[in-house]
Amino acid sequence: MSIQICAILPTYKHVDELERIITRLRALKLDVIVVDDGNTQDVAGELFQICSRFEGVDLVRREQNGGKGAAVIEGMRRAVQLGFSHALQVDSDGQHDLASVTDMLALARQFPDALVTGKPFFDDSVPRGRLIGRWITHIWVSINTLSPRIIDTMCGFRVYPLAASLAASEGALMSKRMGFDTEIVVRLRWRGVDVKTLPVNVTYPVGNYSNFKLSENVGVSAMHARLFLGMLWRSPYLIWTRLQATDDTSTHWAKLGERGGALGLWILAGAFRLFGRHVSLALMTPVVLFFFLTGKTQRRASRDFLERLWRAGGLVTRPGWFMSFRHFMSFGAAALDKFAAWTGNIPAEDVDGVEPSVFDVVHSSGKGAFVLTAHLGNPEVIRAISTLKKRARVNVLVHTAHAVRFNALIQAYSAGSTVRMIEVTEVGPDTAIILQAAIADGEIVVIVGDRIPVSGTSRVCWANFFGSPAPFAQGPHILASILKCPVYLLFCVRFGARHKIFFEHFSDRINLPRKDREAAIQIYVERYAARLEHFVRLAPLQWFNFFDYWRPEGLEAPFEQAQSNSKSEMAS
């Protein structure tokens, strides 16, 4: 689909950066529409002089100041008159990094029916009050769209599909001032328009003049209230469309996005600090219910796991929808406990099985150690205790997409933490060198062993897990052999109000002889799978792998491969 894109620059009192912005946009062959939103005569004169220096720049004059929203809508109407299908909105105060324009236009051409908007990354110049206001708006947008997805609706750097945007704004009591950026996104989402985001750098220039006035907070609050009421009467339709929406068809865990995103972690952390665990859990219940209702892939995976557990004798009664919802609630409760652990709100004396811990063993031996754990319960409890004891530094290997947000949260709420999250997609030579140095310094390396590699399907072993073959990654065991150190298993689950740590020796050292390397790895994987199954049976609703664990994307169990080969031979 061929689309025609222009740029719209609404401006009120912002003149200093305008010529630079127009120059950059014209260099990209973009026609530019500058909307003079009722500026005084002297400012209007400056705008006329600047625009007259360029070809392809159209100046639209509004006699009275109507606000940013009114100016953008005026620019959209003018763009349609000139034959454009899409418009790039750029704020005229110079805070947007125009180096991202090319990528934003490419994304708009790839998804012509979507709204493309910037996902801002701020430098130190951003006022703290602006960030707080953004967080509040993000929460309201999630509520008013009935979506767990976090979209930054306050970034005025985006590409609008003009027909859909004008249809959403006309006939509605729309915000005409600063609330417009947010309201138009909500109304587009109500109409089923997808939103694509692009990371962009945002800087607040020295001496930057803001047109936002404190009195506008009243208007913004009224906008959120109006949208909330609009959401209520649309809610049956919105919920229905969410339930009918197709999930990501991928069954690989790394392709199933973490629902809620980084902001969700911060909101959860703030609620816990203010209200404690019980109130936060109550507040979380409707959110978890929404995830449960709309997460078809995760819901199906939960039911499949619980059915397998029941058939293997791990449950007394056959699981139903309510038990699956309890599984989701356990995941939410574990998220609260995770934050409590990082911030020292789970003291060592409230945890059973702390002594002796892996940290005591490592401290007394003077050597580093390799710890295998899983997505079971809350292993963060023991990692947090390492910070309290100051016994050993802990290096946790996590998938690349998850590390940055957790490191930021840990740093903000537990600055004295001795835990370091290391981003990895595949463990390469550089990572191995870093970890070898950590082990040599007496540190601990922690990795989960219950998920297959992010890329590639060859480095797995199949082991019996609740009565059926399941794939387990070879990587943790290979890494342990490279590090040449003792290996331990560590699991921590919650029983009532207390946590119980299970810490046991796995191997003095994992040896993988060249001759029988695959067979040796298979033995270690089967031992790990057997111990994991044992501990999962102790707390089945605390095992959190909400994807097709036994048949992930791109993998076939050995017996399925044999059957497939047999059928091929018979056919030939």
Assess whether 223 and 342 both reside in one domain.
Answer: no
Q: Is residue 217 part of a domain?
A: yes
Q: Rounded distance, CA 572 to CA 565, Å? A: 11
Q: Is residue 289 part of a domain?
A: no
Most confident range (mean pLDDT) of 72-81, 135-144, 444-453 is 72-81
What DSSP assignment string belongs to 462-511? EEEETTEEEEEESHHHHHHHHHTS-EEEEEEEEETTEEEEEEEEEES---
Tokens representing residue 506 in the block = 């796995």
Share of residues in the chain with pLDDT > 70 (%): 72
What DSSP assignment string belongs to 8-19? EEEESS--TTHH
**pTM > 0.95: yes or no:** no
Residue 125 is part of a domain; what is its CATH number? 3.90.550.10
- Antiparallel, parallel or unpaired: β 86-89 and 5-11: parallel
Assess whether 508 and 394 both reside in one domain.
Answer: yes
**Once rounded to an integer, what is the mean pLDDT over residues 347-367?**
70
Instruction: Identify the three-state secondary structure at position 555.
Output: coil
Q: Rounded to 10 degrees, what is the CA torsion of 529, 531, 533, 534? A: 170
In 416-479, at which residue ranges do the beta strands (DSSP E only) sit?
Answer: 419-424, 444-448, 460-465, 468-473
The region that residue 466 occupies, defined by phi over 0 for left and psi between -120 and 50 for alpha, beta otherwise, is: left
Which of residues 129 and 467 earns the better pLDDT score?
467
At CB < 8 A and 24+ separation, what contacts does 254-262 make? 254/399, 254/401, 254/454, 255/553, 256/297, 256/298, 256/546, 256/547, 258/401, 258/402, 259/148, 259/149, 259/291, 259/295, 260/148, 260/150, 261/149, 261/150, 261/405, 262/150, 262/404, 262/405, 262/408
Tokens representing residue 197 in the block = 């985001």
Q: Is residue 274 part of a domain?
A: no
Q: Is residue 75 part of a domain?
A: yes
Domain boundary among 187, 210, 242: 242
Assess whether 340 and 238 both reside in one domain.
Answer: no
* Residue whose structure tokens are 């500058």: 34
Work out how many domains the chain is built from and give that number. Answer: 2
**Once rounded to an integer, what is the mean pLDDT over residues 146-150?**
68
**Once rounded to an integer, what is the mean pLDDT over residues 305-317?**
94
Assess whether 224 and 360 both reside in one domain.
Answer: no
Q: Is residue 97 part of a domain?
A: yes
Assess whether 194 and 46 both reside in one domain.
Answer: yes
* 156, 209, 322, 350, 386 from 373: Cα distances, Å: 44, 52, 28, 21, 15
Q: Rounded distance, CA 567 to CA 436, Å? A: 47
- Which helix (H) or strand (E) segment holds residue 165: the answer is helix 162-169
Q: Is residue 234 part of a domain?
A: yes
- Which helix (H) or strand (E) segment holds residue 135: the answer is helix 128-144
Q: Up-side HSE of residue 209: CA atoms within 13 Å toward CB?
A: 9
Assess whether 546 and 440 both reside in one domain.
Answer: yes
Q: Is residue 279 part of a domain?
A: no
Residue 241: pLDDT band with limits 50, 70, 90: low
Tokens representing residue 205 in the block = 């220039």
At 267 the pLDDT is 58
Domain boundary among 192, 215, 242: 242
Q: Rounded distance, CA 335 to CA 375, Å? A: 12
Assess whether 235 and 348 both reside in one domain.
Answer: no
Range of the domain at 236: 5-242
Closest CA to 71 of 168, 218, 174, 222: 174
Q: Is residue 292 part of a domain?
A: no
Q: Given a cut of 90, is residue 170 above it in pLDDT?
A: no
Assess whether 216 and 353 both reside in one domain.
Answer: no
Domain boundary among 222, 242, 262: 242
Assess whether 213 and 359 both reside in one domain.
Answer: no
Q: Given a cut of 80, is residue 338 above it in pLDDT?
A: no
Q: Rounded distance, CA 48 to CA 367, Å? A: 72
Instruction: Identify the three-state secondary structure at position 422.
Output: strand
